[in-house]
Amino acid sequence: MRRFHGLRNRPRKPEDLGEPPDPSRRLVVMLGGAVASAGVLGWRLFDWHVQQSAELAARGASSLLTRSEISPRRGSILDRDDDVFAISRGAVRVVADPLAIHESSDPFEVADRLSGILKLDPASVAERLGNPSLRYSEIARGLFDEPARAIAEGIKNGQLPGVRLDPDRVRVYPNQELAAHVLGFVGEGTARPGDIVGQAGVEAWYNDVLGGQSGLVSSDIDRLGRRIPIGRYALQPPRHGAHVSLSIDRTIQHIAEQELEAAIEQFGATAGTILITNPRTGEVLGLANRPTYDPGQVHTYREFGPEFANRACNLIYEPGSTFKLITMAAGLDVGAIRPETVHNLPGTVDYFGQEFKNWDERTYPEQTMVSVLQHSSNTGTIFVADTIGANTFYEYIVRFGFGSRTGVDMAGEVPGIVRRRGDQGWFLPDLASNSFGQGISVTPLQLATAVGAIANDGVMMRPHVARAVTHADGRRESIESEPIRRVISRESAKTLIKMMEAAESGVQENLARVPGYRTAGKTGTSEIASSGRFLEDTSIASYIGFGPLELPRVLTLVIVERPQAAFFGAHVASPTFSRVMSRVFAHLRVPPRRPRS
């Protein structure tokens, strides 16, 4: 068999082989090719670098990476039925880049166009565009409808270079003045331009809950402020705020506002408060103050006057005879008195060198403690406080919460003023005057919370206006009622309520009576001090009471300041209390008591 060896094995003749190859020549050829290839590659790299640098430089000269905050949607404030009290509406903010405007246009022309659309002073707008070293200047905020559309069109057609629209929100209060002091209002913060923060009421107390967290958008824009579609873009979405549902009953709130307005008009008063709570839960059902304001129009007020004060917890007053309930509660709880305890009630008494009188200066001999309440006797209440003793008396005052904040979830609460034995400026006669509500300053909310403890079997509940928080993801958190502490025994509370009811039943003309229902309460008339002396013919007329006594679920405090047509709480505040309670009971469908057969 013939074997095939291929060309590699075929014998060659010497003349076919030629001369042997030169190794150095091959190396030169290879190096030359490499150098040529490197030259071509280097030229192309150089050319690409130069051209790309020029393109990037041109692009950088005509574009800008801008970062803008995206305002979160502020949560709504709702009533107890989840109907709207305050809501945020989508809007836009007009923002300018003065540097871009100066480089591409006439800032005065841009200012004229903006001021014409926004109805602003041209000089003011021109001033905001006048500094070319600035990259951010806010021109207007809270725009929607036609002005916003006109600005957007001007940006689109190039008539407003360097101007852009950022997302914004406007706070709207659809019910104007209704529950204004509960809701509060919002305003601009100081951390960043356009920050909206709560300034009063629930808006301030729950600001972090309502406010949410801002988002951020980054994008390339051209010299006219328009986003470059193929440019850089990044979005961090905002975390929207939660909704806060209140304990306020809209119908009860209307009742409080209407009856307070009527009382002030009827008696020619200057101010007042009606506070309605549930003493068993601490919920505030209604709160009205006069004077008042529209939280949606705060920017139109030239200054913050008395209409902005939430008189229920921001201001203090002397409670007068309504405070006698606290003195009686302490006396019963320590066993210093009983309802049948008898004492002479002189028209005037000297207590450690200071003279104190009954309001009518009459003497009532051999009277029970029920009669002390019925006649609203100052000298009888002094007897109770003296029997208790100063140290124990003030221990109960503190236990009832006076001199400290209640912790209500509304901004601006003050603690009141209580001077105790041993404090600077306290004297023995202060025990006497404090026992019937003089020389001591409280907030209406403090008094309502303290008397609410009597209505609630001796347990004081923390007042609150929020019932629930609903987060942006739908989670709902209930705000539970919170007992503060027991201030008196259940037996003492029940006994005092019976005394209060008996005292009022003995009054021939009881204007606080609520037809069809058992209620208990106390009048108060306090004088107004100025420059260290009491003003003549001026008073704060008040009444506080609760019911129905079978199971108290409504407490109402009425305060009318400086009434002109009458002076005493029994004539001014009592009839208002009666009307309020009648309407509230009807709204809550509280059944009237059955007549005795």
> Which ranges in 232-338 belong to alpha helices (H)?
250-267, 324-333
Please state the rounded mean pLDDT for residues 20-45: 48
* β-pair type (476-478, 466-470): antiparallel
109 lies in some domain: no
Helix (H) or strand (E) holding 19: none
Count CA within 13 A, CB hemisphere, residue 338: 2
Q: Is the pLDDT of residue 179 over 70?
A: yes
Report how many domains make up the chain: 1
339 lies in some domain: yes
**Given this model, what pLDDT does residue 28 score?**
43
Query: What's the pLDDT band for 134 if we cut at 50, 70, 90?
Result: confident
Tokens of 209: 């809950």
Q: Is the pLDDT of residue 412 over 90?
A: yes
Query: What's the pLDDT band for 424 if we cut at 50, 70, 90?
Result: very high
255 lies in some domain: yes
Instruction: Give 215's strand partners.
Output: 70
Q: What are phi and psi of 307, to 5 degrees?
A: -65, -20
263 lies in some domain: yes
528 lies in some domain: yes
Please state the rounded mean pLDDT for residues 525-538: 74
Give dist(CA 75, CA 185) in Å, integer: 13
Lowest pLDDT segment from 129-143, 406-420, 501-515, 531-545: 531-545
**Given this model, what pLDDT does residue 233 score?**
72
Cβ neighbour number for residue 350 with a 10 Å cutoff: 11
Cβ neighbour number for residue 99 with a 10 Å cutoff: 18
The structure's pTM equals 0.81
Angle, helices 490-505/444-455, rounded to nearest 10 degrees = 100
* β-pair type (284-290, 271-277): antiparallel
pLDDT digits (tens, 9 = 90+) for 297-312: 998 888 889 999 999 9
Helix (H) or strand (E) holding 503: helix 490-505
**Given this model, what pLDDT does residue 237 score?**
86
Burial of 139 (0-12, 13-18, 19+ CB in 10 A): buried
Instruction: Give 461's strand partners.
Output: 483
**Given this model, what pLDDT does residue 65 score?**
73
Task: Find tokens 């960043």 and name the residue.
Answer: 192
Give dist(CA 293, CA 583) in Å, integer: 25
Q: Is the pLDDT of residue 413 over 90?
A: yes
Please state the rounded mean pLDDT for residues 320-338: 98
**Given this model, what pLDDT does residue 87 score?**
96
pLDDT digits (tens, 9 = 90+) for 444-464: 999 999 999 999 999 999 999
Query: What's the pLDDT band for 234 if we cut at 50, 70, 90?
Result: confident
Q: Is the pLDDT of residue 236 over 50?
A: yes
Please state the rounded mean pLDDT for residues 232-244: 87
Residue 131, Cα to own-chain centre: how many angstroms? 38
Q: Is the pLDDT of residue 533 over 70?
A: no
**3-class state of residue 390 by DSSP:** helix
Query: What's the pLDDT band for 531 if we cut at 50, 70, 90?
Result: low
Q: Is the pLDDT of residue 43 over 60?
A: no
**Given this model, what pLDDT does residue 257 score?**
98
Cα angle at 327 between 321 and 328, to 5 degrees? 100
Average pLDDT of the chain is 87
Residue 485 sits in a domain whose CATH number is: 3.40.710.10
**Given this model, what pLDDT does residue 66 score?**
73
**Given this model, what pLDDT does residue 50 score?**
47
**Given this model, what pLDDT does residue 300 score?**
85
Query: What's the pLDDT band for 15 if we cut at 50, 70, 90?
Result: very low
106 lies in some domain: no
Q: What are phi and psi of 322, to 5 degrees?
A: -60, -25
Give dist(CA 501, CA 511) in Å, integer: 14
Exposure string (b/e) for 215-231, b if CB count within 10 Å is 16 or more? bebebbbbbbbeebeee
DSSP string, 141-167: EEE-SHHHHHHHHHHHTTSSTTEEEEE
**Given this model, what pLDDT does residue 63 score?**
57
**Given this model, what pLDDT does residue 19 score?**
41
Please state the rounded mean pLDDT for residues 313-340: 98
278 lies in some domain: yes
**Given this model, what pLDDT does residue 14 score?**
36
Query: What's the pLDDT band for 534 if we cut at 50, 70, 90?
Result: low
**Given this model, what pLDDT does residue 2 score?**
36
**Given this model, what pLDDT does residue 547 score?**
98
Q: Is the pLDDT of residue 517 over 70?
A: yes
Give dist(CA 514, CA 280) in Å, integer: 20
**3-class state of residue 139 by DSSP:** strand
* Percent of the chain residues topping a pLDDT of 90: 66
Q: Is the pLDDT of residue 389 over 70?
A: yes
**Given this model, what pLDDT does residue 73 score?**
86
Q: Is the pLDDT of residue 512 over 70?
A: yes
348 lies in some domain: yes
**3-class state of residue 439 by DSSP:** coil
**Given this model, what pLDDT does residue 18 score?**
40
Count CA within 13 A, CB hemisphere, residue 140: 21
**Given this model, what pLDDT does residue 141 score?**
80
CB 440 within 8 A of CB 319: yes
Question: In terms of residue numbers, what domain contains 279?
Answer: 250-588
Tokens of 441: 């300053």
DSSP character for 284?
A: E
Give dist(CA 435, CA 394) in Å, integer: 10
**Given this model, what pLDDT does residue 23 score?**
46
Give dist(CA 554, CA 456) in Å, integer: 11
SS (H, E, C) 21-45: CCHHHHHHHHHHHHHHHHHHHHHHH
Please state the rounded mean pLDDT for residues 205-214: 93
* Percent of the chain residues topping a pLDDT of 70: 86
Q: Is the pLDDT of residue 396 over 80?
A: yes
Greater confidence (270 vs 73) lies with 270
Query: What's the pLDDT band for 194 if we cut at 50, 70, 90?
Result: low
